[in-house]
């Protein structure tokens, strides 16, 4: 039996189409129009973001955000299965890069290193169930915390162990939980922020000092300068000099 070969099917010219992996979606949504649970939730989120930025104001190797979508798979993106932690931080990345959300495949496969979810009665079950499982199994986020801004006792945290998954963190004598990834304690603080008095979740350093917000740090510097000026004035007066004439 003879076989005819045409120019299009000859062995010399026939080629196989190379397989290419499907490209991830590019039409990503970064705002679903859903507001945070309350104004207190918004303030609580910003307190964590802004205080960490203040603590590491001389660093550009981290990124912190909140209420931003995290895209981690093509299927999730196509299904519009949005995931937006209330607070997250990623270390060893370019913190100066402008981002609308966190897209894992655009960040060299990096997932958040720390996540905090600000719960409410309507979200607590998901935050401590479905989301916790996702952050443990898929994200492999080392430190995960949940806190209800309206219920100070509803504060828990977990640290990821490679073989055992998330292990519940034990609080210290003050009720704080250690965030190993950031090197800070997370604990409650009572006071007024943005004209709202409440019990807030704050960072504390290894010596137990409150990690300040930018405005708190500025006020502290101003008070320290005023104290130095007063000490100088007292010293001048003790020498018989009038500070106002100098």
Sign (positive/negative) of CA torsion 210, 64, 113, 192? positive
Say how far residue 191 (Cα) sits from the centre of its chain. 22
Q: Supply the DSSP symbol for 66.
A: S
pLDDT of residue 32: 47
Picking from 170, 224, 180, the residue whose alpha carbon sits closest to that of residue 206 is: 180
Q: Which residue has better confidence, 33 or 99?
A: 99
Tokens of 238: 């003790």
> Is it the case that residue 3 has pLDDT exceeding 50?
no
> What are the tens digits of pLDDT across the range 99-132?
988 999 999 999 999 999 999 999 999 999 999 9
Pairing of strands 184-193, 196-204: antiparallel
When pLDDT is averaged across residues 162-185 and rounded to a whole number, the result is: 96
pLDDT of residue 16: 57
């Amino acid at each position: 039996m003879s076989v005819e070969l045409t120019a299009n099917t000859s062995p010399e010219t026939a080629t196989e189409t190379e397989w290419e992996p499907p490209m991830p979606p590019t039409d990503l949504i970064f705002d679903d129009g859903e507001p945070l649970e309350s104004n207190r939730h918004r303030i609580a989120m910003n307190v964590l973001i802004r205080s960490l930025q203040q603590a590491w104001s001389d660093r550009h190797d981290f990124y912190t955000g909140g209420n931003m979508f995290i895209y981690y798979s093509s299927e999730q993106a196509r299904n519009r299965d949005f995931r937006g932690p209330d607070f997250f931080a990623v270390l060893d990345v370019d913190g100066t890069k402008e981002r609308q959300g966190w897209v894992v495949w655009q960040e060299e496969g990096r997932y958040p290193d720390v996540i905090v979810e600000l719960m409410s009665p309507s979200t607590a079950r998901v935050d401590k169930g479905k989301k916790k499982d996702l952050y443990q199994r898929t994200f492999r986020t080392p430190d995960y915390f949940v806190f209800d801004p309206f219920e100070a006792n509803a504060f828990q945290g977990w640290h990821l162990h490679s073989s055992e998954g998330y292990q519940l963190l034990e609080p210290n004598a003050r009720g704080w939980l250690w965030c190993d990834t950031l090197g800070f304690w997370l604990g409650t603080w009572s006071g007024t922020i943005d004209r709202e008095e409440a019990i807030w979740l704050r960072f504390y350093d290894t010596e137990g000092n409150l990690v300040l917000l930018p405005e708190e740090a500025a006020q502290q510097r101003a008070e320290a300068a005023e104290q130095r000026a007063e000490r100088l004035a007292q010293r001048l007066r003790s020498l018989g000099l009038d500070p106002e004439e100098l």
